[in-house]
């Protein structure tokens, strides 16, 4: 480092090796600096443009491609999941509709049976009540005749017991008259 | 850095304060004491070669596995790539992407040279006007040639601001032309100046550290400025690259 030369090395360095003025402005060194700078820049340029930059560009492009592919795959899987959910929901809705249909059918069947039974029972009841009505009216007619006969006989007997003599025709007329009222 | 010489000199002078903040920028041959010729292998050569090695390690060795899930070094390499690529695309537009490798070269070289320059005892190649001026002039000439090649004389409409009132346009054109030719100057001095100033300030505080009374403060200041310089090292590389993109945009689309 330290030079022991005490003769001025150049116009820019004093005898002690110290700088005279600003070393930046020393014209003696500029050729050297410019030459080595140009060499350096050319070397760096070739390193960058031949090796480094294409490599980094390809790595970045590859990564971008990988990311894009992964995102596309994820998108596809998501689509599939949505489709599966839709299918599931559809199956569920179908099953519900089927169940509803079966229930409605069963209800209708049962209703029809019940209706038929009710109609049958109604008819039976109607027949029975008509029969009963007939029997009652017969009984009633029979009873009326019996009452008439009894009343005739009784009236004849009563009239006879009173000492009167009543003919059958007038008694019957009288009784008919009474029973009407 | 010739520190031994200085310490003996300082001892001889009987002074405890030694300011040689510019000695770190001296270019010297790596082998022998001869004069610095054009092809001499110097500390410039060494530190530029180290920046090439650093770029090689980060962008080539670091990405050699080409992993889909990147390792740390590959992440950093991809980050640097994406950072510059997006910058070129956003600022210069899609058709500026043709020039992406050139801008990436400039950005990576400046970034690595700045960062390596922050290693103690290192030589900062980007602190020299000669280095930054070559890059800035190269950018200036390239974008000017690209501008004329892509747009013909339509490139001159860059200086004729059609959105301004007609009276103002000639004045603005003069200002625009001056600012256009000042570009390489500001472009190169900004970088070299930032690098030189930061390193010189660190060196000055390092000299103060020799005084016992203020050495804790000086060391603290060195630490703080070092942190700032790390930021500056990145920001200056970024600024250089983004200005290159802006100039490229002007060349590709000169119409305001």
pLDDT, tens digit, 9 for 90 and up, residues A140-176:
888 888 888 888 888 888 888 887 776 778 878 887 8
Q: Where are the beta strands (DSSP E) in chain B?
A: none
CA-based torsion, A89, A95, A96, A101: positive or negative: positive
- What is the average pLDDT value for chain A, to the nearest integer? 87
| Confidence (pLDDT) at A181 | 61
**Is residue A42 classed as helix, strand or coil in its secondary structure?**
helix
Please compute Rg for chain B using Cα positions: 22
Q: Is A15 on the interface with B (CB under 8 A)?
A: no
Pick from B58, B70, B80, B131 the residue to mutate for testing the A interface (most A CBs within 10 Å). B131
Chain A residue with the nearest C-alpha to that of B101: A49
Domain count, chain B: 1
Q: Which residue has the tokens 């956003």?
A: B90
Structure tokens at A112: 């029809």
Q: Answer yes or no: do A59 and B66 touch at CB < 8 A.
A: yes
Query: Is residue A23 in some structural domain?
Result: no
Residue in B with minimal Cα distance to A58: B66
Residue B256 CA to residue B253 CA, distance in Å, equals 8
CB contact under 8 A, A39 and B48: yes
- Contact by Cβ (8 Å): B74, B62: yes
Of the candidates A66, A10, A139, A169, which has an alpha carbon nearest to the alpha carbon of residue B37? A10
Indicate whether A134 belongs to any domain: yes
For residue B248, the tally of other CB atoms under 10 A from its CB is: 25
Smallest CA-to-CA distance from B27 within A132, A94, A28, A180 is with: A28
Please give the backbone phi and psi of residue A13, each rounded to the nearest 5 degrees, phi first.
-125, 130
Quote the number of domains for chain A: 1
Is residue B233 within 8 angstroms of chain A, CB to CB? no
Query: Angle, nearest 10°, between helix axes B129-151 and B100-117?
Result: 170
Give me the DSSP letters along A129-147: HHHHHHHHHHHHHHHHHHH
| Residue range(s) defining the domain that contains residue A140 | 28-180
Instruction: Say yes or no for a CB contact (<8 Å) between B105 and A41.
Output: yes
Q: What is the pLDDT of residue A10?
A: 66
**What domain range is B219 assigned to?**
3-252
Is the CB of B37 less than 8 angstroms away from the CB of A31? yes
Q: What percent of chain A is modeled with pLDDT above 90?
A: 59
Is residue A135 classed exposed, middle or buried when 0-12, 13-18 and 19+ CB atoms within 10 A define those classes?
exposed
In chain B (256 residues long), the average pLDDT of successive 10-residue segments reads 44 57 84 81 92 94 87 92 95 92 95 94 91 95 94 88 87 93 94 93 88 87 94 96 94 82
Residues in chain B: 256
Alpha helix stretches (DSSP H) within chain A: 27-46, 53-161, 168-180
> Per the domain annotation, does A118 fall within a domain?
yes
């Amino acid at each position: 480092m330290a030079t022991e030369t005490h003769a001025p090395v150049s116009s820019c360095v004093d005898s002690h090796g110290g700088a005279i003025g600003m070393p930046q402005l020393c014209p003696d060194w500029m050729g050297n600096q410019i030459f080595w700078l140009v060499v350096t820049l050319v070397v760096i340029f070739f390193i960058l443009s031949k090796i480094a930059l294409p490599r980094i560009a390809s790595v970045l492009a590859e990564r971008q491609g990988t990311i894009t592919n992964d995102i596309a795959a994820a998108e596809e899987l998501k689509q599939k999941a949505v489709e599966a959910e839709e299918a599931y929901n559809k199956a569920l809705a179908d099953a519900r509709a089927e169940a509803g249909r079966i229930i409605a059918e069963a209800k209708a069947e049962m209703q029809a049976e019940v209706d038929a039974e009710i109609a049958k029972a109604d008819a039976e009841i109607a027949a029975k009540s008509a029969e009963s009505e007939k029997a009652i009216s017969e009984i009633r007619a029979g009873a009326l005749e019996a009452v008439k006969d009894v009343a005739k006989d009784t009236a004849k007997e009563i009239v006879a017991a009173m000492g009167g003599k009543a003919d059958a025709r007038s008694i019957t007329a009288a009784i008919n008259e009474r029973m009407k009222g | 850095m010739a520190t031994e010489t200085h310490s003996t000199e300082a001892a001889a002078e009987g002074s405890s304060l030694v300011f040689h903040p510019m000695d770190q920028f001296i270019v010297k041959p790596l082998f022998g004491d001869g004069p610095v010729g054009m092809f001499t292998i110097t500390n410039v050569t060494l530190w530029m070669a180290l920046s090439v090695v650093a770029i090689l390690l980060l962008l080539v060795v670091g990405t050699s596995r080409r992993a889909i899930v990147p390792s740390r070094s590959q992440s950093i390499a991809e980050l640097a790539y994406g950072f510059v690529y997006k910058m070129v695309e956003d600022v210069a537009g899609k058709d500026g992407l043709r020039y992406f490798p050139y801008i990436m070269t400039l950005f990576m070289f400046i970034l690595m040279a700045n960062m390596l320059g922050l290693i103690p005892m290192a030589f900062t190649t980007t602190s020299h006007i000669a280095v930054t001026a070559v890059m800035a002039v190269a950018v200036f000439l390239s974008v000017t040639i690209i501008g004329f090649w892509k747009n013909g004389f339509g490139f001159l409409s860059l200086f004729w601001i059609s959105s301004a009132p007609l009276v103002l346009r000639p004045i603005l054109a003069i200002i625009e032309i001056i600012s256009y030719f000042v570009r390489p100057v500001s472009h190169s001095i900004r970088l070299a100046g930032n690098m030189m100033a930061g390193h010189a300030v660190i060196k000055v505080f390092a000299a103060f550290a020799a005084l016992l009374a203020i050495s804790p403060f000086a060391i603290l200041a060195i630490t703080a400025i070092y942190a700032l310089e790390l930021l500056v090292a990145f920001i200056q590389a970024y600024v250089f690259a983004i200005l290159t993109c802006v100039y490229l945009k002007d060349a590709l689309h000169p119409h305001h």
